[in-house]
Amino acid sequence: MLCDRLHEVLSAEKEEAPIIDIAKWISRASFNTMARAALDYDFQALTDTPDEVYTAVMKLVETVGKGMTNRDAVEIYLPFIRWLFVCFSFHIASRVL
């Protein structure tokens, strides 16, 4: 699968030679392989539109790598919270003005 995907990227007609972030592709292939072995589920990590769960896990890993605040953790598990904060902030601002 990884070889096929890299071949697609390299075969695409472009004016310049493509730059391939091999660490990204190895990470995606490893994630997909572990998910298939442990969960018997394909996260489509090597496609252009990966599975929603894969996207969420990668966002979680990225956030933890940066240093996660409590609000970040809540927003990962309850994404609608961001909308509530925006609405609440707008409501307070409109009352002040």
Output 17 or 24, whichever has higher pLDDT: 24
- Average pLDDT of the residues in 8-26: 78
- Tens digit of each residue's pLDDT (9 = 90 or more) over 34-77: 888 988 988 888 887 878 888 888 887 777 777 767 777 777 77
Residue 79, pLDDT above cutoff 70: yes
Residue 40: Cβ within 10 Å count: 7
pLDDT of residue 95: 56
pLDDT of residue 28: 84
Q: Where are the domains of the chain?
A: 1-47
Dist. CA 44–CA 54, nearest whole Å = 8
How many CA within 13 A on the CB side of residue 96?
Answer: 6
Q: How far is it, in rounded angstroms, from Cα 53 to Cα 12?
A: 28
Residues 42, 21: Cα–Cα separation, whole Å: 22
